Amino acid sequence: MKTKNALAIALSLLAALAVAIGAGAEATPAQTAGPAKGKMPGKVILGTLADRYRPVAFDHAKHVGMAGSCAECHHQHEGDRALTCTGCHRMDAAVFRKNVDLARIRPCGGCHPAKDNPGNPGMPTLKAAYHRACIQCHRDVGSVGKDPKGCTETCHESGALARAK
């Protein structure tokens, strides 16, 4: 998924989606996804944090194919995070591996707080979590992460929204 091909695909897809900064909550699965238990979201509108830019239309389904593993973004297993196994898995040891409860995989906002929390500086805010997750792969696309204008190349629309308010 980190090949140039994949990145080119990602770029074109995302450009088509006209994703905006907003970096809102993925907690609101969009119309197409449907909150059916055990189903991954399709398109997700990330809008709860939208400030300078319009909400981001994130095509979750497209990224699933490219990411290789859910843990690329849903990094619950990383390090020594204190999450319970049953948060995502039904604990039937016999079929444990095949038994991930997709409906219970946490969206970014499930752990990352929307507001700044000086009391826990080790936990990135939701805004930071979104940007890190996206830029981790997209930083090599165009000038994303290389100059201030790269923001609007792949994800964000222009800043007209906030200034209009």
The residues binding other proteins (CB under 8 A) are 21, 23, 79, 116, 118-122, 124-125, 127-129, 131-132, 135, 139, 144-151
Listing DSSP states for 6-32 in one string gives HHHHHHHHHHHHT--TT---TTSB-TT
For residues 44 and 26, give the distance between their C-alpha atoms in angstroms, rounded to a whole number: 6
The 10 Å Cβ neighbour count of residue 8 is 11
Nearer to other proteins (CB atom), residue 39 or residue 149: 149
Query: Cβ of residue 125: shortest distance to other proteins, in angstroms?
Result: 6
CA 65, chain centre distance (Å): 14
* Smallest separation (angstroms) from other proteins to the CB of 136: 10
Closer of 60 and 131 to other proteins (Cβ): 131
Residue 58 C-beta: closest distance to other proteins, Å: 16
Strand partners for 45: 57
Closest to other proteins by CB, 38 vs 79, is: 79
How far is 142 from 118, CA to CA, in rounded Å? Answer: 34
Q: Which is nearer to other proteins, 63 or 131 (CB)?
A: 131
Least distance (Å) between residue 95 CB and other proteins: 32
